[in-house]
Amino acid sequence: MKLLPVILASLLVGFAGGCRTAEPPPVARPLVARVYLEALPEQPGTAVTLPLSRVPLTVDPRALLVESDLAGAVLEPAEFGTVLQLVFTPQAARDLYRRTAGAQGLRLVLTLNGTAVAAQRIGDPVTDGALRFYPEVGAAQLPALLADLRSTIAVVQTKLAQKQ
């Protein structure tokens, strides 16, 4: 009978510990991706410069899409190099469509940890919920960049799912 309290205490601790939701593992090198819309000439904005082409741009200071809007990322070979494709959540995809429908001719600017790394001109409204950028980084850096970005997306999406 002396073992019964010990067994019950062990079971209670085991069940209580099992109720806690595990935190996602921390990201070794967080890579926060945000997409900004180019500002119109008469609008105030934030000046950014692409790293290789040295193209200066002025963007709206508020991000159009943020890290919580991302659902995935892939690298794809393309005609002019490697494309970083960012896939957005359904809600973000709807917002992206609405915002690009009225912004044709302007550019979308991708930043990683606050540094502009790519831009693309809006030709048509984005209907598929994905953006494709040619990042201005070395080809050798792209696999590590993708791994860091995917890890960050996974952690952010896990935290969002836990809040719901």
Inform me whether the pLDDT recorded for 160 exceeds 50. yes
For the segment 62-86, what is each residue's pLDDT rounded down to a tens digit?
999 999 999 999 999 999 899 999 9
Q: Which of 19-33, 82-96, 104-118 is predicted with the least confidence, judged by mean pLDDT? A: 19-33
Identify the bridge partners of residue 107 per DSSP, sorted by sequence position: 121
**For position 23, what pLDDT does the model report?**
54
pLDDT above 90: percentage of residues in the chain: 75
Q: Which of 3-7, 25-29, 145-149 is predicted with the least confidence, judged by mean pLDDT? A: 3-7
Inform me whether the pLDDT recorded for 15 exceeds 70. no
Domains of the chain: which residue ranges? 29-163
- DSSP assignment of 16-54 equals HHHHSPPPPPPPSS---EEEEEBPPTTS--EEEE-TTT-
What's the CATH number of domain 29-163, 3.40.50.11810, 1.10.10.10, 3.40.1380.20, 3.30.1360.200? 3.30.1360.200
Inform me whether the pLDDT recorded for 14 exceeds 50. no
CA distance linking residue 6 with residue 12, whole number of Å: 10
pLDDT bucket at 7, cuts 50 / 70 / 90? very low
CA distance linking residue 156 with residue 150, whole number of Å: 10
**For position 98, what pLDDT does the model report?**
96
pTM equals: 0.82
User: For the sheet containing 70-78, what is the strand order?
Assistant: 70-78, 81-88, 130-133
Inform me whether the pLDDT recorded for 20 exceeds 90. no
Q: Are 146 and 75 in contact (CB under 8 A)?
A: yes
**For position 164, what pLDDT does the model report?**
79
For the segment 23-77, what is each residue's pLDDT rounded down to a tens digit?
555 656 899 999 999 999 889 999 999 999 999 999 999 999 999 999 999 999 9
Q: Are 53 and 80 in contact (CB under 8 A)?
A: no
Torsion of CA 70, 30, 76, 47, to 10 degrees: 80
- Judged on CB neighbours under 10 Å (0-12, 13-18, 19+), 16 is exposed
pLDDT bucket at 5, cuts 50 / 70 / 90? very low
**131 is written with which tokens?**
């953006």
Of residues 10 and 114, which shows the higher confidence score? 114
